[in-house]
Copies of this chain bind each other. A is one copy, B any other.
Amino acid sequence: MTAAADGLAEARVGPSARREHILDAAEACFTRNGFHRTTMQDLAREAAMSPGNFYRYFESKEALVLGLVERERERGTLLVAEMEGSSDPRGTLLGLIARYFMSITREAAALRVEIWSESTRNPAIAAMTVQTEAESRDWFVATLSALATTPACDPAALYALLAPLMKGIVVSRAALPDYDVAGAVTQIHQLLHAGLDGRLPCPADARSPAGL
């Protein structure tokens, strides 16, 4: 490659492409080793880039994590677009959920757990977690509403059940080597069917928590 072409090649790569490249490297490293165990040197090797250069695109290592979480959030938004104009929306939703859990690796799950953990000590990441949760909730409630076959279905309550359940599945996937993900997916499916068809105990039935 000539110097001129080289220059062009460099010109072609905008700052946002650089950011993406760095985030790719970060994702690879963080997934492999977690971000506490990943050093900026590791990142530099993975990104084929000097350590100092990161700081032109991200303020700090923490900002990198933040960028990664942010990108993940955006990807979630995109992923979910699959629902649009599906002829079998309920099947599509179930498929989406199944695919997510069946394809997540232990390492990826571990990174999610690590991020939740970091969330509890780091306000910036916490904010992002809260926002992701809110978006997730909004989307789910809207989607569930559209899929309900009976007014007896309470989409908000269904989500309130689903949300921790899904988080817990990720934790289990990460921390328990023999965890049965497929079984968990099956249970979510059943729960969703039941919930959407109004066959789940209603929050209206609730007695306030006893034993306190």
Contacts and interface: CB of A to CB of B under 8 A. Distances in A.
Contacts of A169: 164, 168
Contacts of A203: 183, 186-187, 190
A112 to B, nearest CB: 9
Contacts of A183: 160, 203
30 contacts: A91-B211, A92-B211, A94-B209, A94-B210, A95-B212, A97-B211, A98-B211, A110-B117, A110-B121, A113-B116, A114-B120, A116-B171, A117-B174, A160-B180, A160-B183, A163-B168, A164-B168, A164-B171, A164-B172, A168-B168, A168-B169, A168-B171, A182-B209, A183-B203, A186-B206, A186-B207, A187-B206, A189-B206, A190-B201, A190-B206
Number of identical protomers:
4
Given A33-B121, A160-B184, A211 B175 contact: no
